[in-house]
Each structure stands twice: as structure tokens, then as C-alpha cells.
Amino acid sequence: MILFCGKQPEPAAAVTPADVRGLLGAYETAYTNESVSGLSRLFGPGFSRRNGTDPPQNKAQALAEYGKQFALLDAPFYDLRGLQVTVRQRA
């Protein structure tokens, strides 16, 4: 249900390739720093993670999984260099 209080909501701003690169850079940093709280700040409430053929995970499940991974890893490094970002706006 959507309720309006006399004013239409502002349309979402267009996402740019620079926005995507900035988010991916923040993800690289949080992962490399083994920061579950840093990842949590990046993931919205409707976040869903898919890893291969595993069932999808919601935000809480994904953060718990990252915590398990970080406990097993020794100085992880995440590198997303060389990505090509294409942004398509919804009609």
C-alpha cells in the first residue's frame, strides 16, 4: 500500500557509472578490511545475495556468511579492476 500526503515522492536520481564504481570501491575496501559493519552500510534493507547455486540470502544471512568467511581468511584482498560498467535506466 502506498500513501501520499498531498505531495508526490521525488523520483529516484539516475544512477551513473561513477556511482556504481564508487559503490564497488567501497565494497572492495570493506571486504579487504574484513568489515562486516562496512558491508552492512552498503547493503540496503531489500538486499539479496546469490552465490553460485546456493539459495539466495537476505541481508542478515549474507552478513553472517561474510563473517564466517572473514574468520577463515588470512588478509583477504578484493580487486575489481578492469570492470566495464553499463547503466540502464528503467523505463
Q: What is the pLDDT of residues 45-90, one digit of tens each?
A: 899 999 889 999 999 999 999 999 999 988 888 888 888 888 877 6
Average pLDDT, the chain: 84
Rounded Cα gap, residues 12 and 38, in angstroms: 24
Residue 48's φ and ψ, nearest 5 degrees, are -140, 130
Q: What is the pLDDT of residues 9-31, one digit of tens each?
A: 555 678 888 998 899 999 999 99
Rounded Cα gap, residues 82 and 28, in angstroms: 13
Rounded Cα gap, residues 66 and 36, in angstroms: 7
Count of Cβ atoms closer than 10 Å to residue 31 Cβ: 22
Residue 34's φ and ψ, nearest 5 degrees, are 55, 45
